[in-house]
Homo-oligomer: A and B are copies of this chain.
């Protein structure tokens, strides 16, 4: 028993039923040229009766447009990235575009995503990247397919949308100092990622401006992921002096640091303050609720996608957009 796939109506079926040529059907389909009102009616009726839906592939082949956006993201499991996804989705779908998603941890090793592009499956690309080199996307640039980057600027005239990591880190550090904290420790995200670099720079610059320092033994290495904040905090606890406050490069690590402190019988924020970065939902559910820096993740995704969508219409004027971040004060910093 073969599958009894009910074959769908094609443009020929519609043309036949409406007693016109396929050219005219195509005209009403695309709303172009003049078509006699009566003819149009007849065609529309035929379409309805046959439940006609044009084949996306045939259209794509004919006019070299897929009406699909490629969306490449390191991992879909991170709540921070989820918001970006939502933004991209909203922008795409309200423009009638679909999303071809490729999540990819090791973007350099198996550039599965280049297929999306080279196989001409997508009209444009939004790439959320943490460690992209220019050569990784050389193929895309060559192909002339519009691409925009989120979260990492690799120059080369590629439009980029990033959050103000430096500014956010400065604000947070100022806040900690204002609360009276002096010995600030930093739990670092993955090294080499530009956002971590910017945040660290913000902390350092602010401390320096106040005549304070961030010595090497007060920086603990994490990797942004679950669990790494715990290990990093343990390292910090081995130091002779306890820090006044720990600034983790994201909320996940800050939350794990909370656990480490608690296990060691230290109270937050009384003994040590802890703050994070991102403002993911988790931040407000841990105890004490995390003071953190809010990132405009949804906006980042929305604007980046709108940017490629625009680039599809008219030549893209290179943009470099930095969206503001802002402080969210809750309990974990110990400030009134």
Instruction: Give A residues with C-beta under 8 Å from B.
Output: 1-6, 8, 51, 53-58, 60-61, 66, 68, 76-77, 79, 82-83, 85-86, 89, 93, 98-103, 112, 115-116, 118-121, 139, 142-145, 226, 255, 259, 281-282, 285-287, 315
Contacts and interface: CB of A to CB of B under 8 A. Distances in A.
A68 B315 CA distance: 30
A155 to B, nearest CB: 20
B8 A120 contact: yes
A4 B144 contact: yes
A119 B53 contact: yes
A142 B286 CA distance: 49
Contact of A115 (B51, B53, B99, B112): B53
Given A6-B142, A76-B86, A143-B8, A121 B285 contact: no
Contacts of A8: 118, 120, 143
B68 A76 contact: no
A134 B142 CA distance: 47
Given A68-B100, A76-B85, 5 more contacts: A8-B118, A56-B121, A79-B79, A99-B100, A100-B101
A89 B68 CA distance: 18
Q: Copies per complex?
A: 2
Contacts of A60: 57
10 contacts: A5-B145, A53-B118, A53-B120, A58-B61, A77-B82, A79-B79, A98-B100, A259-B285, A286-B287, A287-B287
B98 A99 contact: no
B112 A93 contact: yes
Contacts of A85: 76
Given A57-B57, A57-B66, A76-B86, A121 B144 contact: no
A86 B283 CA distance: 23
Contacts of A282: 281-282, 285
Contacts of A54: 119
Contacts of A83: 77
Contacts of A144: 3-6
Contacts of A112: 93
